[in-house]
Amino acid sequence: MKTVAFRIKGGKNYGWGHVVRMTVLADFIRNKFNNTKINFVVEGSKGVIEYIRQRGFGVYEIPFDLNIRKEESWWPFKESVSLIIVDLLRVSDSRVKFLRRKCEKLVIFSDIQIRYPFADILVYPQVFEPHSKEEKIDQIVLKGPEYFILDKEYLFFHKKHKKILPQAKSLLICLGGATQTRDYSKLVQALLSVESIFETIDFIIGFEIDIGLEAYLHKSLPKANFIKSERGLSRRLYESDIAIIAGGFIKYELAAVGTPGIIVSITDHQHELSVMFSAKKAAEYIGLLPELTAEQISRAVTELSSNSSLRTEMSFAGKQLVDCLALERLTPFLMN
Specify the CATH number for 154-321; select among 3.40.190.10, 3.40.50.2300, 3.10.310.10, 3.40.50.2000. 3.40.50.2000
Mean pLDDT across the chain: 92
Map out the domains of the chain as residue ranges.
2-143, 154-321
The Cα–Cα gap between 111 and 140 comes to 16
Taking a C-beta distance cutoff of 8 angstroms, is the pair 42, 60 a contact? Answer: yes
- Whether residue 233 contacts residue 255, with contact meaning beta carbons closer than 8 Å, is answered with no
Distance CA 256, CA 8 (A): 24
The CATH number, out of the four listed (3.30.60, 3.40.50, 1.10.3470, 2.60.40), of the domain defined by the range 2-143: 3.40.50
Distance CA 39, CA 49 (A): 12
226: amino acid identity, one letter: F
The DSSP H or E segment spanning 116 is none
pLDDT tens-digit series, residues 211-269: 788 888 989 999 999 988 667 899 999 999 999 999 999 999 999 999 999 999 988 88
Note the pLDDT of residue 232. Answer: 86
Residue 318's closest CA among 269, 284, 271?
A: 284
Residues 6+ away with beta carbon under 8 Å from 15: 176, 177, 178, 248
pTM of the model: 0.92
Fold agreement between 2-143 and 154-321: yes
Cβ(103)–Cβ(5) below 8 Å:
yes
